[in-house]
């Protein structure tokens, strides 16, 4: 088992109002598995991904990666686990705006201490951005930004990929290309968990977890 989350709860407060973003969510992610997390906007998908990767701390419950606790750890310990175990694509904040796409990938490889990962040009080609290596974030469309962020998330060939809407704003041909990347990871024994609205992507997953109002639906 690569990742296990048990009874995750997350509360947000705005003034006197309380929002229960996650309500007792439990899940597992196995080697060589693609899991799709689906649900309407506001169902808790992004909050769940933040808690799974240690970018956010759940108010209740526990996340373990490879048997190690991610929850209730100092930020330095969580950051070390992220660098070693995860590739992360969130809906924003994946790229340094002052760097080119090639430099963003190279920086991620340096931070991860990985020398034998796929080279930047190869990664950009795999996400259909071979011609955009010198571009910066401000020069990209929304779909290109998501794909560039995915290339950065894959820079160190991570055991676990956590991705939030990686195929948003792309055409069908590009989506199939990205799905093929996820399936190649599955064939090599790596795990991928994707929050998505795409039925095409979900159809290729091993399992689908459906969230509604912060809880997993079992119907």
3-state secondary structure of 154: coil
- Measured CA to CA in angstroms, residue 81 lies from 64, 152, 156, 188 at distances of 10, 17, 13, 21
More confident residue, 194 or 137: 194
| Confidence (pLDDT) at 113 | 79
pLDDT tens for each residue of 52-94:
999 999 999 999 998 889 999 999 999 889 988 999 999 888 8
Separation between Cα atoms, residue 104 and residue 107, nearest integer Å? 5
Give whole-number Cα distances, 108 to 26, 64, 65, 101, 178, in Å. 30, 23, 21, 11, 20
Q: What is the reported pLDDT for 18?
A: 80
pTM (2 d.p.): 0.91
Tens digits of residue pLDDT in 143-157: 889 899 999 999 999
Task: Enumerate domains of the chain plus CATH numbers.
Answer: 3-217 (3.40.50.300)
Give the pLDDT band of residue 117 (cuts 50, 70, 90). Answer: low
pLDDT higher than threshold 80 for residue 98: yes
- 205, 151, 210, 213: which is closest to 183 by C-alpha? 205
Report the alpha-carbon distance of residue 117 to residue 12 in Å, rounded: 38
């Amino acid at each position: 088992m690569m990742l296990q989350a048990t009874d995750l709860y997350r509360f947000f407060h705005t003034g006197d109002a309380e929002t229960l973003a996650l309500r007792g969510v439990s899940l597992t992610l196995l080697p060589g598995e693609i899991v799709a997390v689906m649900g309407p906007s506001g169902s808790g998908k992004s909050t769940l991904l933040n808690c799974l990767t240690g970018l956010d701390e759940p108010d209740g419950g526990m996340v373990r990666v490879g048997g190690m606790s991610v929850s209730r750890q100092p930020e330095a310990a969580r950051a070390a686990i992220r660098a070693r175990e995860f590739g992360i694509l969130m809906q924003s904040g994946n790229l340094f705006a002052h760097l080119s796409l090639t430099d963003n990938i190279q920086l991620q490889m340096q931070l991860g201490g990985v020398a034998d990962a796929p080279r930047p040009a190869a990664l950009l080609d795999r996400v259909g951005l071979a011609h955009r290596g010198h571009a910066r974030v401000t020069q990209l469309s929304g779909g290109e930004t998501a794909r560039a962020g995915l290339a950065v998330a894959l820079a160190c060939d991570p055991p676990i990929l956590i991705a939030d809407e990686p195929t948003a704003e792309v055409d069908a041909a590009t989506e199939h290309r990205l799905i093929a990347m996820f399936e190649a990871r599955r064939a090599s024994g790596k795990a991928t968990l994707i929050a998505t609205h795409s039925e095409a992507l979900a159809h290729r997953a091993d399992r689908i977890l459906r969230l509604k109002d912060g809880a997993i639906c079992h119907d």
